[in-house]
A and B are shown apart, each in its own frame.
Chain A
Amino acid sequence: MTQAILREIIDYANRANPYPLYEELRKTPVSHDGDGPYVVSTYYEIQSLLHDPRISSDAKNLKATGDDPLGQGQGEEEGATLPPSFLKLDPPDHDRLRRMTNRPFGPPHAPHRVHDMREELGGLVSGLIDGIATTGNLDRVDLVDQFAYPFPVSVICRLLGVPHEDEPRFHVWAETLAASLDPDPDADPAQQGKGAMDARMELGMYLAGLIEERRKNPGDDMLSQLATADGPDGSMTTMEVLSTSALLLIAGHETTVNLITNGMLTLLRHPDVLQRLREDPALSVPIVEELLRYEPPVQLLPQRSTLTEIEVAGVTIPKGASLWLILASGNRDPKRFENPDRFDPDRKDIQHLGLGSGIHSCFGAPLARLEAQLALSELARRLENPRLLEDPPPYRQNAVLRGPRHLTISCDGVRP
C-alpha cells in the first residue's frame, strides 16, 4: 500500500510547491503506514539519522523493497552491469572508494583542484551568457536549456578530462540519462528505458576507452588519476572507475542544474535580493547557502534502511525497513530555523541539510557551490531587467531531484 502522503509528494500537481505538504508531514516526525517506507521529516531527527551507524545506504539491507513509489526513478544512475557507486555502499567499501575519489579532487591531497577551476568556470559562464546575447531572441530565453543545463555538463567533462571534441557526444548521453531520471508521463516507458540503456552502454564504452588511454598517457584530470591511482588504498578496478565516473557525471550535474535554476527562480521572485547580488557578487556565497536550505536540489534521500530495530521520535522502526529522509522538509523545520519559509540570505545560523551530512554528505559540494555562485552572480550582473514569463514554471517530473524543466524569462538586454 502506498501512503497517501507519499502519493501526494510524488503527485506532479504538487511539484511546484511541495512545502505545504512537508509542513503537514512534520506534524508526524516519523510517519508510516502499511508497508511503505518510514518517512522522516523533521530537522533534528534527519540530522541524527544521517550520523547513525545503524542506518545503511546499501540496498542489500532492505528486507523487502516494499512499495517504493519512486522505484522507477531510482537507481538509474548505474547500469545493471556496473557495480554500485559509493553513494550506495556502506563502509568500509564506501570509505575506500570515496577516499580514493577524493584524492585527486579535494584536500588534503588536492586542495587546489576546485579553486583552480575558477577561471575556467568563469569562462564557461561568460561563454553561455554571450550565447544568450547572440541568439537574439531576448523575449524568450530558456535559462535551463541555454544555461543551467549545458554549464555543469561542460564542467564535469573538464574535470574528468573528456577531450573537447567529444563533449558534444557526452552532452547527448548525459541528457538522455538525465531524461530517464525524469520520467515523462506521456512517453513510452519501454522506449525511454531502452534509450537510457543504450546511452549508458555507449557512455560506459566510451569511458572505458578513455580509461585505457589515460592509463597509457595519464594527464592531471580526474579520470587519469582514478585510473592510475596507486595509493595507500591500492587501485580501483576498471569497473570501479566506471561506476565512480558515472556517479560523478550524473550526481554532479543533475543537482547543479537544479541549484542554479531554483536559484534564479528564487531570485526573480525576490527582486530586492537580485538587485543586491547585482551590486555585490560576494553576496552569492550566503545566497547559495540559503538556497541550499530554502530550495534544495535534492529534496529527499529515499534509499536508506535500518540494520537493526531503532527508535526515532517515539516510533519503533523495525530492522530492514526503508527510510526516506525528507531533507527539504527538515530545512524548513520551524524548530530549527526561525521563519523557515522566508528566503533570507542574511541568515546567520544556517546549518542546512541541503547537501546531506555524515559520511555520504555531498561529495561535489565545493564544486557545486562554486558553480552556483559564479552562475548566479554573473546572471544577475549581465541580464538587464530579467522577468519571469511563467510562474510557477513547468517542473520536471522527478520529486527527488526537483527543479524546473524550463525557466523562461525575457530581458531587455545582456550587459557585456
Chain B
Amino acid sequence: MSGDGSLEHLKREGRIVVVGASLAGLRAAETMREKGFTGSLTMIGDEPYEPYDRPPLSKQVLLGKATADRTALPRRRDIDAKWRLGVPASGLDMAARRVRLADGDEVEYDRLLIATGVRARPWPNEAEGALDGVFVLRTRDDGARLERALAAGPRRVLVIGAGFTGSEIASACRERDLPVTVAERGAAPLVGALGGVIGEVAAQMHQEHGVDLRTGVMVTGLEGDPSGRVRAAHLSDGATVEADVVVVSLGAQRNTEWLAGSGLGAGPRGIACDAGCRAFNIWGIVTDDIYVAGDVARSPHALFGYQFLSLEHWGNAVAQAETAAHNMLSEGMDRRPHVWIPAFWSSQFGVNIKSVGVPPMGTEIQVTQGSLAERRFAAVYGYQGRMIAAVTFDNCRWLPFYEHQIETTAPFPPPFSTVDRRPEGHKPMPADFPDPSVPTHGPTITLSGYSPADRTMTFTPARH
C-alpha cells in the first residue's frame, strides 16, 4: 500500500466519516485537519447539538452555576465538516464501506471513526423508569431537566448508585440544601472505582454533608402516585424512601447496537480494537479502515498486561481520539499506540479527587502522604508487587510523580519515604475491591480478556 500514493490521495481527497459527534469525535476531527487532511469530513451525531462537554453536567450545571446549553466544547480549530446532527447511524456495511443513517441516507467512507460513547443505563423496570420525576444524567437535555427539577425544590431526592456521577449529584443536592438519600448496593460509595478503603472515606464525606447514605441495599421498586409522578422507592432492607426526584445513576451502556450484524467486533462491553485504535472484526482480525476512540472503545494496554481497558474518562477520549486520527492518516511504522495512562478526576463535597493508573487492578493500598481522616492524602495501589494506580484527595500536585512511578512499574509497597507520611501510611492494607462479578454501579474502568463476540453477557443492576 505504501509508496503508491494512496495515503497521499486519502489525505488530499479521501472521505472520512466520524460517527459520534461529541468529545472524541470532535478532537479526532480537529487532529485530522491539523495533520493536513483536506478531503471530505462528515460528522454524524444523534444528538441535535454540536459537541459539548459532559463533566460540568453533574457539577456546575446541577449547581445552577452554568446552564446546560453553555457547555459547548471549545474548538481548537475550524474543522470544515458536513454535520449530520440529530440523526443516528443505524447500520454499517463494512464491505461497501458505507454507514447507514436512521433517516435512510447512506454515507460512504474511506476511513471511519466510531466514537459513539455510552449512554446512561436506564432503570430496568421500564414503567417505573417512565414515571415523572425519574431521571438519568448523561446528556445536555438530561442535565437541563434535572437542574430544573432540583431548582423546583423537591422535598427529597433519591440517587440510586454511588459511583462518581451519583456522588457528584448527591454533592450538588447538598450544596443546594436539598435533602438527599443515596442508595448503593456496594458497601460504600466509589467502591467499584477506588475500593473499600477509599470508599469508607467517601462514605464519611456523604454523611458529614448530611446525605442520608444507605449502603448494602438495592432499590427494588419505584412507586408513583395516581398522576404518574414518582413518590417513593422501596429498598431491599424493607425500608421505603419518599422522594419526588429519583436519579438513576447505575453506570452506562455502550452504544454499539447499531453495529449488530455488521461483522465488527462490537458488543455490550464496547468495540475491541488494537492499541492503534483499529477496530477488530468478530473474528479478531483487525480492520484497516475502521477506528474507534473514547468511551465506546476497548483497547489493550501494554503497561497493564495487555488487558483490554474500557475507560469512561474524559482525558482518555481526547488522547485516544488524537491517536486514532493520527493513525487514520498514517501507515506502517508511522502509526502510534495509544498508551495513555488512565487518569480521572471528580469533584464532590468540595474535595478534588484524582486518580491515575487502574485502581481496580490493585489488591493492596497504602496511604503514602497525608491522612484518610483529614481527607487530604495520596494513596497508591499495589498489584503483584508493583504500583498499579494512585489516588489523591485534595492533593493532586503530587500525582505526576505517582504517574511516573506507575509508568516505570515501580515496586509496591513503595520502598521510599515521602513528605507527610503519617503513621497510618507505614503499611499497605487490602484495597478491598468488591468481587467484580457483583455489580455495584457502573464502573468507570473495566478490564477484560479479549473476546469480541461476547454478546451474551448480561448485566443486572441492583438485582439479585
A-to-B contact residues, CB < 8 Å: 48, 51-56, 90-92, 95, 307-310, 358-359, 361
Which chain A residue shows the least CB distance to B378?
Answer: A53
Asked if B401 contacts A91 (CB within 8 A), the reply is no
What are 9 A-B residue pairs whose CB atoms fall within 8 Å in the complex? A53-B369, A54-B418, A54-B419, A56-B419, A91-B369, A91-B420, A92-B420, A95-B376, A358-B397
CB nearest neighbor in B for A91: B420
* CB of B77 within 8 Å of the partner chain: no
Q: Are the C-beta atoms of A53 and B400 separated by less than 8 Å?
A: no
How far is it, in angstroms, between the C-alpha of A387 and the C-alpha of B36 when the chains are bound? 45
- A51-B398, A90-B419, A95-B376 provided; 6 other pairs, C-beta below 8 A? A53-B398, A53-B401, A90-B420, A91-B369, A91-B419, A92-B374
Contact status B401-A51, CB under 8 Å: yes
* A51 B369 Cβ-Cβ under 8 A: no
Bound: A59/B399 CA distance, A = 24
Bits for B364-388, please: 1 = Cβ < 8 Å to A, else 0.
0000111000101010000000000
**Complex CA–CA separation, A310 to B370 (angstroms):** 21
CB-nearest residue of chain B to A310: B416
Question: Contacts A53-B369, A53-B378; is A308 near B417 (CB within 8 Å)?
Answer: yes
With A48-B400, A48-B404, A359-B397 as contacts: A54 and B370 at CB distance below 8 Å: no
Give the CA-CA distance A253 to B399 in the complex, in Å: 31
Known: A91-B369, A92-B370, A95-B376. A51 touches B400 (CB 8 A): yes
Q: How far is the CA of A52 from the CA of B416 in the complex (A)?
A: 11
Assess the B401–A307 pair: CB atoms within 8 A: no
Interface of A, secondary structure class, is loop
How far, in angstroms, from A359 to B401 measured CA to CA in the complex? 12
Name B residues whose Cβ lies closer than 8 Å to a Cβ of A: 368-370, 374, 376, 378, 397-401, 404, 416-420
- The minimal Cβ–Cβ distance linking A102 to chain B, given in whole angstroms, is 13
Q: How far is the CB of B253 from chain A (nearest CB, A)?
A: 36
Which residues of A are found within 8 Å of B416, using beta-carbon distances? Answer: 54, 307-310
User: Nearest 8 A-B pairs (CB), nearest first?
Assistant: A53-B418, A91-B420, A90-B419, A308-B416, A51-B400, A51-B401, A308-B417, A359-B397
Q: How far is A359 from B419 in the complex, measured between Cα atoms in Å?
A: 12
Whether A51 lies near B370 (C-beta < 8 A) is no
Complex contact A307–B400 (CB within 8 A): no
Q: Which B-chain residue is minimally distant from A361 (CB atoms)?
A: B397
- Nearest CB of chain B from residue A113's CB, rounded to whole Å: 20
CB-CB under 8 A from B370, the residues of chain A are: 91-92
User: Which single residue of chain B is at the shortest CB-CB distance from A89?
Assistant: B419
Nearest CB on B from A236, distance (A): 18
Nearest residue in A to B403 (C-beta to C-beta)?
A51
B354 CB to nearest chain A CB (Å): 13
Q: Which residue of A lies closest to B415 (CB)?
A: A308
Contact among B376, B397, B417, B420 for A51, CB-based, below 8 A: B397
Instruction: Please report the C-alpha to C-alpha distance between residue A358 and residue B392 in the assembled complex, in whole angstroms.
Output: 14
Which listed residue, B374, B378, B419, touches A307 by the CB 8 Å rule?
A: B419
Using CB atoms, name the residue of chain A closest to B404.
A48
Expressed in whole angstroms, the Cα–Cα distance for A52 and B397 within the complex equals: 9
Q: Which B residues are in CB contact (< 8 Å) with A48?
A: 400-401, 404
Q: In the complex, what distance in Å separates the CA atom of A307 from the CA atom of B374? A: 23
Q: In whole Å, how far is B315's beta carbon from the nearest beta carbon of chain A?
A: 17
CA distance A90 to B422 in the complex (A): 13
Select from chain B the residue with minimum beta-carbon distance to A357: B397
Q: Which residue of A lies closest to B369 (CB)?
A: A53
Shortest distance between the CB of B359 and any CB in chain A (Å): 19
Bound form: Cα–Cα A91–B395 in Å:
10
Q: When A91-B369, A95-B376, A359-B397 are in contact, do A53 and B404 touch as well, CB less than 8 Å?
A: no
Residues of A within 8 A of B417 (CB): 54, 307-308
In the complex, which residue of chain A has the Cβ closest to the Cβ of B368?
Answer: A53
CA distance A51 to B369 in the complex (A): 13
**Given the complex of chains A and B, what is the CA–CA distance between A48 and B420 in angstroms?**
18
Distance to closest chain A CB from B147 (angstroms): 21
Q: CB-CB < 8 A to A55: which residues of B?
A: 419
A52 engages B401 (CB within 8 Å): yes
Give the shortest distance, in Å, between A360 (CB) and chain B (any CB): 9
Q: Across the interface, which residues of A come within 8 angstroms of B374, CB to CB?
A: 92
CA distance A358 to B396 in the complex (A): 9
> In the assembled complex, which residues on chain B have CB atoms less than 8 Å from the CB atom of A54?
416-419
B418 touching A307 by the CB < 8 A rule? Answer: yes
CA distance A361 to B368 in the complex (A): 21
Smallest CB separation, A293 vs chain B (Å): 19
What B residues does A307 contact at CB under 8 A? Answer: 416-419
In the bound assembly, the distance between CA atoms of A307 and B414 in angstroms comes to 14
Closest to B420 in A: A91
Contact partners of B378 in chain A: CB under 8 A? 53
Docked Cα-Cα span, A53 to B378, in Å, equals: 10
Measured between beta carbons, the chain B residues less than 8 angstroms from A51 are 397-401
CB of A112 to closest CB in B, whole Å: 16
- Minimum CB–CB distance from B292 to chain A (whole Å) comes to 29
| Cα A308 to Cα B376 with chains together (Å) | 23
Which residues of A lie under 8 Å from residue B369 when comparing CB positions?
53, 91
CB distance from A45 to the nearest CB of B (A): 11
Chain A residue at minimum C-beta to C-beta distance from B418: A53
Q: Which residues of B are found within 8 Å of A53, using beta-carbon distances?
A: 368-369, 378, 398, 401, 418-420
Q: B154 to nearest A CB, angstroms?
A: 27
Residues of the B chain whose Cβ atoms lie less than 8 Å from the Cβ of A309: 416
* A-chain residues with CB within 8 Å of residue B418 when the two chains form the complex: 53-54, 307-308
A307–B368 Cα distance when bound, in Å, is 13
Task: Give the one of A53, A54, A56, A361 with max B CB within 10 A.
Answer: A53
Instruction: Determine the distance from Cα of A48 to Cα of B397 in the docked complex, in whole angstroms.
Output: 11
Closest Cβ–Cβ distance, residue A367 to chain B (whole Å) = 20
How far is it, in angstroms, between the C-alpha of A95 and the C-alpha of B394 when the chains are bound? 11
